[in-house]
Amino acid sequence: MMRVMIVDDEPLARARLAALLAECAEVQVVGSADDGEAALVALSELQPDVLLLDVNMPGLDGTAVAGRLAGRARPQVIFCTAYEAHALQAFELGAVDYLLKPVRLERLRDALQRARQRLADTPRETVAWLHGRLRGEQIRIALDEVICLLADEKYVAVRHSGGELLIEESLRQLEEAYPEQLIRLHRNCLVPHARLLGLKTLDDGSVLARLVGTDFSPEISRRNLPAVRKLLRLG
């Protein structure tokens, strides 16, 4: 059964896609979102195989979401949009297909079959886990659920979607272990690449990071700001 998530800011468009998916074999709709930021937050919980993704949405648009997911085996992205102009960029981002609205059932089935074949040809990613203790109990947190990592005296505080825990690894050890997934904002802060939403410059010139799924905005040091800006430009 292929798990599909719908991302579109229009309720009628989401309802139509859900109705079409109900007519497709071996497909389960696991959830939906009405903007790109909500989609990124939901991905770690819903774990879809395929994302049906609109392009023009308020805030984080579809191409920005696809950019964050580029290179990952799951979810595979199928764009569903009313505009042809973004097709080339979509395929450069690794999209399986580019469907024009109103989406036809046969085209959707073809796109899902392409996604199914690509998923079959791609090894499933190994989940990275961080291990720590919470109230005396040993627990683990998937790196995808991490919001940020903050140095806290001799420990590192892991803020995640379900709360916070302490781990014994240093920020340097984590940075070296997951160079493709974590970026340093400050000497005492790392965040996952996928959590970076944008930048916020204050009146005093300091720059804060806007992160997906939280109001917490850690400061970015001048030393690390160029690398953060480059990552955001690259999607």
156 and 107, same structural domain? no
In this structure, which amino acid lies at residue 71?
A: G
38: which 2 tokens?
């909500």
Q: Which residues contact 167 (CB under 8 A, 6 or more apart)?
A: 130, 131, 132, 155, 156, 158
Instruction: From 103, 121, 139, give the residue that closes a domain.
Output: 121
**pLDDT value at residue 125:** 62
Q: Considering 79, 96, 121, which residue would you say is the last residue of a domain?
A: 121
The label of the residue with tokens 């109705």 reads 19
End-to-end CA distance of the chain: 30
Residues 31 and 8 in one domain: yes
The reported pLDDT for the residue numbered 124 is: 66
- Note whether 162 and 201 are within 8 A (CB): no
Nearest to 131 by CA among 193, 183, 174, 179: 174
SS3 8: coil
Residues 113 and 17 grouped into a single domain? yes
Q: Can you give the pTM of this predicted structure?
A: 0.69
For tokens 């781990």, name the residue: 167
> Are 147 and 87 within one domain?
no
Whether residues 139 and 177 fall in one domain: yes
Of 69, 94, 121, the last residue of a domain is 121
CATH classification at residue 111: 3.40.50.2300
Question: Looking at the structure, do residues 229 and 145 belong to the same domain, yes or no?
Answer: yes
Query: How confident is the model at residue 126, as a pLDDT?
Result: 61
Residues 24 and 92 in one domain: yes
Q: What pLDDT score does 3 carry?
A: 96
Instruction: Specify the number of domains making up the chain.
Output: 2
208: exposed, middle or buried (C-beta count within 10 Å: 0-12, 13-18, 19+)?
middle
Give dist(CA 181, CA 190) in Å, integer: 10
* Residue with token string 């001799």: 154
| Pairing assessment for the beta strands 50-53 and 76-81 based on DSSP bridges | parallel
Q: Block means of pLDDT (10 residues each) for the chain, length 235 residues? A: 96 97 96 91 86 92 85 88 86 92 96 95 74 76 90 87 86 89 95 91 94 92 94 79
Q: Please report the pLDDT score of residue 185 as a whole number.
A: 97
Instruction: Quote the domain boundaries for residue 15.
Output: 2-121
Q: How many other β-carbons are positioned within 10 Å of the β-carbon of residue 113?
A: 14
